[in-house]
Amino acid sequence: MYRINAQSENYEQALAEAGIAYVLKGGERFFDRPEVRQAMTLIRGAARAIPGGLLNQDVDDGAALEPAGSVAGLGQAVRAVLLSMGWDENPPSGAGAVREKWESLSALAGLADEFEASTPTAGLAEFVLELSERSAAQHAPAVDGVTLASLHAAKGLEWSCVHLVGLVDGTLPLIHASTSEQIAEERRLFYVGITRARDELVMSWSKSRNGRGTREPSRFLAALGAAVVGSAPKVVAEPRVVKGPKSAVKCRVCKKVLTVAAERKLKRCLTCEVDFDEALFDRLREWRLAEANRASVPAFVIFTDATLQAIAEAEPSNDEGLLAIVGIGQSKLQRYGSAVRLILDGGSAEDALAASEAAAANTP
């Protein structure tokens, strides 16, 4: 996901060179694309010529078709139509419009395979009806690959994993965003991006363009807990000791190896029951909501539910205990540690909010 559409070209090219399928969100709607409309016209013509939908030759628009000498399935029949348009099973080496056309036609071929699998007796006529119904509902076939989308195009959508790229000042916020209203709109777009991920969010930026010059990470990253030093915003990574491959995290109840992020954070399977203070968990969530409203950020930016539950289950008694919980680093400890400790000691959400406000005022 990126701020402006022009950023997609490099990623399109890289994905094409790697042989990875992708779809570009925010462009023309699938069934409005010229190549899709042309393919539907040809498939409709083929269905009229031979109702069974059996082909053994290339198709020209309006040309008569003859039945196949041997029985062909729907997927093969549709591919014969697509071949007449210059489509090939192998993806083109380039990017841009050529690759987009190939992806669109490949999606139609894949849809034909799916329809044939679900309705083995279907021919081209039935497939034409299926396409017409999908077109009316704009139910485009899904592409098994990477989705490229601008922040504007991503509104209202979600993915399991989101990569937010190009997070540098001048791009997000845009260089011409100078007024407080414009900066606020850029910040809202940033939060659109980080809230599109259901399970995993990866944010990145480059230090230079084409190996020349230097870039600064987006100032919005600081709101997520990154330290800011000097007069210009710089994200300082917390020290990380790499000790070979990541060690397996096992459930502390059943000892099963954990692979889901939320389970690794809790150090147990979500299905394994443990006792914890639910009233404490509720106070933590109440404070988090108040702090998120105060800072005008989504609640999960403060702490995720999994982190709050891990705190409620572990009930750490000191800073070292808090730092042992996945999702809490030095930066968040500095910002929210006093508030969390206050709640752990029996304090109210209101008292904790006052503590986090004081910490924010003293945080550079």
User: Where along the chain do its domains lie?
Assistant: 8-145, 154-236, 278-361
> Any idea which residue has 């503590």 for tokens?
355
- Model confidence pLDDT, tens digit, residues 274-330: 777 888 888 998 999 999 888 887 777 788 877 888 898 889 989 998 988 877 888
The more confidently predicted of residues 282 and 4 is 282
| Average pLDDT of the segment spanning 328-347 | 90
Q: Across the chain, what does the average pLDDT equal? A: 75
Question: How much is the pLDDT for 338?
Answer: 92
257: Cβ contacts below 8 Å, ≥ 6 apart: 248, 249, 250, 251
| Average pLDDT of the segment spanning 223-239 | 42
- Is the pLDDT at 340 greater than 90? The verdict is yes
Question: How much is the pLDDT for 242?
Answer: 35
- Model confidence pLDDT, tens digit, residues 178-189: 788 888 888 888
The more confidently predicted of residues 216 and 21 is 216
Residues in the chain: 364
Residue 177 CB neighbour total at 10 angstroms: 16
| Average pLDDT of the segment spanning 30-49 | 85
- Is the pLDDT at 364 greater than 50? The verdict is yes
Q: How far apart are CA 239 and CA 330, in angstroms?
A: 10
Query: Reduced to 3 states, what is the DSSP secondary structure of residue 198?
Result: strand
- Is the pLDDT at 230 greater than 70? The verdict is no
pTM: 0.38
- Is the pLDDT at 69 greater than 60? The verdict is no
Tell the burial category of 18 from Cβ atoms under 10 Å away from its Cβ (0-12, 13-18, 19+). exposed
CATH code for residues 154-236: 3.30.160.800
Element (H, E) at 227: strand 227-228
| Average pLDDT of the segment spanning 70-75 | 66
DSSP secondary structure, 54-67, as one string: ---S---TT-----
Question: How much is the pLDDT for 138?
Answer: 55
Nearest Cα neighbor of 145 from 94, 187, 107, 115 is: 107
Q: How far apart are CA 228 and CA 231, in angstroms?
A: 9
Question: How much is the pLDDT for 345?
Answer: 92
Question: How much is the pLDDT for 199?
Answer: 82
Burial 196-220 (b: 16+ CB within 10 A, else e): bbeeebebebeeeeeeeeebebbbb
Specify the CATH architecture of the domain 278-361.
Answer: Orthogonal Bundle (1.10)
Q: How far apart are CA 356 and CA 335, in angstroms?
A: 7
- Is the pLDDT at 235 greater than 60? The verdict is no
Cα Dmax for the chain: 82
- Model confidence pLDDT, tens digit, residues 243-271: 334 456 778 778 888 766 666 767 777 67
Q: How far apart are CA 55 and CA 48, in angstroms?
A: 12
The more confidently predicted of residues 89 and 14 is 89
Give the confidence band of 96 by pLDDT, cuts at 50, 70, 90. Answer: low
238: Cβ contacts below 8 Å, ≥ 6 apart: 329, 330, 331
Phi and psi dihedrals of 336, rounded to 5? -120, -5
